[in-house]
Amino acid sequence: MTNENQTITNENQFFKAGGTLSLKDRCYVTRPADDELYHHVLAGDFCYVLTPRQMGKSSLMVRTADRLRREAQLGVVTIDLTDIGTAPLDQWYVSVLGRIQRQLRLSVSAEKWWIEKAAFTPTDRFTRYLREVVLTECQTKVVIFIDEIDTTLQFDFRDDFFAAIRAMYNARASETAFERLTFVLLGVASPSDLIRDRSRTPFNIGQAIPLLV
Domain ranges of the chain: 31-208
- Is domain 31-208 in CATH 3.30.70.20, yes or no? no
Q: Which residues pair with 80 in a beta bridge?
A: 147
Check whether 7 has a pLDDT greater than 60: no
Predicted pLDDT of residue 212: 76
Task: Please report which confidence band the pLDDT of residue 197 belongs to, taking 50, 70 and 90 as the band edges.
Answer: confident
24-52 confidence digits (pLDDT tens): 667 788 999 999 999 999 999 999 999 99
